Amino acid sequence: MNLGEAVKTCFTKYYTFSGRASRSEFWWFVLFLAVISSLIQSYVQSGNGTISVKIGLNFYLSTEAHWLENLFTLTTLVPFIAALTRRLHDIGTSGWRGLGFFALLALIIASFFVLPWQISAFALLIAVAIGLFFLSRKSDHGTNQYGPNPYEVAQ
């Protein structure tokens, strides 16, 4: 699967939380989101020179041109979560683990306000490494409880 196919598949399966997504589908879609988000952020922050407060994800309190970032984040959040859920299904894991992982990340990020930054940064590094480990694993061979292997279906 290439970049175009992955983006098309993830937007076609906008609300599809069942089934499986291959590694290439998920990571191409993540690359697409990162590149477009970076382009939008560089466009927004290059021209207006305003100081804005970032609330989380890509939401800003400023009303200048940050609506474009907010719109992109809101329109791609559901397909990203759906692709993440299907990717976790592909390795034989429940999609609810993705929600648990985001809750853990939120707790770790909140710990920066309470604990020394070195402890919180180390915990964040470990959590991201664990997440990357799971999301980079090979697909389960054959059909698992979430459906057929996307590599075998494509052939």
Residues 109-125 have pLDDT tens digits of 888 888 898 898 899 89
The pLDDT assigned to 39 comes to 84
User: How many other C-beta atoms are found inside a 10 Å radius of the C-beta of residue 88?
Assistant: 23
**C-alpha to C-alpha distances, 35 to 3, 39, 72, 149, nearest whole angstrom:** 12, 6, 12, 28
pTM equals 0.81
26 Rama sector, left if φ>0, alpha if ψ -120 to 50, beta otherwise: alpha
25-55 confidence digits (pLDDT tens): 999 999 999 999 888 887 777 665 454 545 5
* Backbone phi and psi for residue 56, each to the nearest 5 degrees, phi listed first: 150, 160
Structure tokens at 63: 């009303």
Pick 57 or 78 by higher pLDDT.
78
Length of the chain: 155
The Cβ of residue 9 has, within 10 Å, a number of other Cβ atoms equal to: 20
Domain ranges for the chain, please list them.
1-91+140-155, 93-136
What confidence category does residue 71 fall into, taking pLDDT thresholds of 50, 70 and 90? confident
Q: How many CB atoms lie within 10 A of CB 5?
A: 13
Mean pLDDT, the chain, rounded, equals: 84
Q: Which residues pair with 54 in a beta bridge?
A: 60
